[in-house]
Amino acid sequence: MFFLEDIRYLVTIRCFQCGEKFILRGKRTEKGQYETGFKRCVCGNESSLHIDATPEK
* Interface residue with Zn ion, options 7, 8, 17, 50 (CB under 5 A): 17
Q: Which residues contact 31 (CB under 8 A, 6 or more apart)?
A: none
Asked if residue 9 lies in contact with residue 26, where contact means CB atoms within 8 angstroms, the answer is: yes
Nearer to Zn ion, 11 or 41 (CB): 41
How near is the Cβ of 48 to Zn ion at its closest, in Å? 8
N-term to C-term CA, the chain: 20
How near is the Cβ of 41 to Zn ion at its closest, in Å? 3
Interface residues toward Zn ion, by CB under 5 A: 15, 17-18, 20, 41, 43, 45
